[in-house]
Structure 1
Amino acid sequence: MNSKSNSWDTNLVRDIFVERDVNLILSIPLNNAVADTCTYNCFKQWFANTVQSLEKKAIEEMVMVCWAIWKNMNAIVWKQYGSEFSEVCKSAKLYLNQWKTAQDKSFSNSLGFMTQEDGLEQWVRPRDGMIKINVDAAIFEDTSKYCYSMIARDGAGELVAATTKCRSGTIVSEMAEAIGIKEALSWIKNEVTQPAIVESDCLSVIQAIRCSTVNLSYLGRIIDECKALLSDLKNRHVVLNFVKRSANNVTHFLARHNSSIADRQWYGGNVFPELYQVICNDLKF
């Protein structure tokens, strides 16, 4: 904002936000009090004053939204893309929620949409006659790519199938995780006949899939597809569980192994040595 004229700094607003939000922001009238409080040069004082009047939860959310706005600004300046303000705020709250849960060593099931099966800290073999599919995703901002991977193992811990796919595009991590879960559920629907467990360490996406709230964003449409697939697979005893990062090591490794890999698949013992070692490490527990 321009403190001398008590008006919006048009160039700054256009640098930070996408066109839709630019028009909305510039249409908001400013008075002297707003301009004096929110001017860029007084941000530090504004922040200090605001913190004093908020509770801890609100402070945490405010800090995350500020961080997300800064990150979105950098994306616009350096990579010529950005998200709408509503998506920036949603993403900030999702990151905060997921980070806080990841730091909770005791893991309380009182958190929303959690079950007794959630929160495993180490990979555990499924029961005989079942198959377990772990899913993970990775974002490569420097090359504007994202990858998602999944690995299916049986009750003996043996590899049934593994796949990793990379796509060009710039999306938030929750989107990549949701796409990975959708692909895993689609694979189960088309290729698997026995009961199955799908595991992901992305709590925010699993909560969204379990929640009945309607989300009209593009991420919401992917979430709805996951919900529909789970509904179709209900009679085949397919469940989706949240696990800690430490219980998702193999897919974490696969998704980040090489961002140039595209649509690679492995079956049985036909895997490269590094992948074989990570799989074996899971069986030590």
Structure 2
Amino acid sequence: MNANPICSWCHRHAETPLHVLFTCSFAQELWDRVGMQEVLGVEDTTTVLQVFQQMFNSSSRSKKVMLGLFCWSLWWRRNSWVWDRKIVSAFGVQSMALGLLQEWQSSQEELGGGGRNRASSANRQWCKPPEGWIKVNIDAACHAQQGYIGIGSVARDENGQFLRASGRRIQGRWKPREAEALGLKEALLWVREWRTSKCVFEMDAKTVVDAIYGDGGNSYFHTIIEDCVDILHHFHEVVVVFERRSANKVAHVLAQTAYSMTDHMEWIDIAPDFICNLLSDDV
């Protein structure tokens, strides 16, 4: 193959493994963004193995895990550009790594040490976020004939304990995917008021999650998605993930309940009885 030896992103240096993962301007932007400045001073004579050895000897277990996930996501991003000319931002690479971690931890929750069969996974329950993180489940319910939608969000910590819940009714004859995108936007604005790091936003609208990491478009739906991406940049560590409705039922009930609301309503610290009952069945 007549391969170009120069980095396909910065076009200034030879594309060595060390350059792609650590010394390229894009890689350095990512490491700075995720707070792992230890790898920013890597010398050109250093090998990738030496970087890993140094990090593994001086870092916590969680940091070692993220180092591997970020490196894998950087290489995936490199291939996406070289072969498909698909641009992925530093935020996209970070989100992919955090999403992989979330999926892995969810699978461990499902296995529960002894392993469950595939049939049981169809009845999935809510899975806890990583240690130190919160998970915000989001859903929207359309009521086109009445000219409004209901949006519900519920936040829980790493132990599955209730933190806050939010419900809102929004006027307009929105299409389902626009309603789900508005649900994400409202949840992001709501959470940003009281927390801006280590947040998993989980929803059962795969179209919306895919659009967050996609190339964009010209529809009104994509305008809402662009607003969501702009808001996500205000968070330090954040990921948006897709999950089936069976694991998102609390937010779904809140979205249905929001039909009867005339204004934004929030519950903090003490949840109404019906939320407590839902949470006890969901975890």
Q: Partner amino acid for 1:216?
A: N
2:268 counterpart of 1:267: yes
Q: Deviation of residue 162 (structure 1)? A: 0.5
Q: Deviation of residue 254 (structure 1)? A: 0.7
Equivalent in the alignment of 1:184: 187
**Secondary structure, counterpart of 1:259 in structure 2:** helix
Equivalent in the alignment of 1:92: none
Equivalent in the alignment of 2:227: 225
Equivalent in the alignment of 2:176: 173
* One of 202, 205, 219 as aligned partner of 1:202: 205
Higher Cα radius of gyration: 1
Percent identity between the two aligned chains: 31
Q: Deviation of residue 144 (structure 1)? A: 1.6
Equivalent in the alignment of 2:144: 141
Find the aligned partners of 1:153 and 1:141 in 2 and give their Cα distance.
30
Alignment of 1:63-212 (within 5 A): 116=100, 117=102, 121-212=124-215
Instruction: Encode CA deviations 1:155-202: one digit per residue, 9 max, x unaligned.
Output: 221211101100221010111111111122223333104411000100
Structure 1 residue ranges without an equivalent (≥5): 1-112
**Secondary structure, counterpart of 2:125 in structure 1:** coil
Q: RMSD in angstroms over aligned alpha carbons? A: 2.2
Instruction: Encode CA deviations 1:195-216: one digit per residue, 9 max, x unaligned.
Output: 110001000111111101x312
Q: Is the 8 A contact 2:169 2:258 kept in 1?
A: no
Equivalent in the alignment of 1:215: 217
CA 204–184 in structure 1, closer or farther in 2 if over 3 Å, else same: same
Q: Partner amino acid for 1:166?
A: R
Alignment of 1:24-35 (within 5 A): none
Q: Is the 8 A contact 1:118 1:243 kept in 2?
A: no
Q: Partner amino acid for 2:233?
A: S
Structure 2 residue ranges without an equivalent (≥5): 1-95, 107-123
Equivalent in the alignment of 2:50: none
Q: Is the 8 A contact 2:149 2:169 kept in 1?
A: yes
Q: Partner amino acid for 1:244?
A: R
Equivalent in the alignment of 1:255: 255
Find the aligned partners of 1:230 and 1:139 in 2 and give their Cα distance.
25
Find the aligned partners of 1:155 and 1:118 in 2 and give their Cα distance.
15
Q: Is the 8 A contact 2:181 2:224 kept in 1?
A: yes
2:277 counterpart of 1:277: yes
Equivalent in the alignment of 2:32: none
Instruction: Encode CA deviations 1:94-126: one digit per residue, 9 max, x unaligned.
Output: xxxxxxxxxxxxxxxxxxx99644596321122
Q: Partner amino acid for 1:280?
A: S
TM-score (norm 1): 0.54
Q: Deviation of residue 258 (structure 1)? A: 4.9
**Secondary structure, counterpart of 2:135 in structure 1:** strand
**Secondary structure, counterpart of 1:137 in structure 2:** strand
Q: Partner amino acid for 1:246?
A: S
Q: Is the 8 A contact 2:150 2:258 kept in 1?
A: no
Q: Deviation of residue 226 (structure 1)? A: 1.2
TM-score (norm 2): 0.55
CA 237–125 in structure 1, closer or farther in 2 if over 3 Å, else same: same
Find the aligned partners of 2:278 and 2:145 in 1 and give their Cα distance.
26
Find the aligned partners of 2:204 and 2:281 in 1 and give their Cα distance.
18
Q: How many residues align?
A: 167
Q: Is the 8 A contact 2:167 2:258 kept in 1?
A: no
Q: Is the 8 A contact 1:118 1:242 kept in 2?
A: no
Find the aligned partners of 1:238 and 1:194 in 2 and give their Cα distance.
6
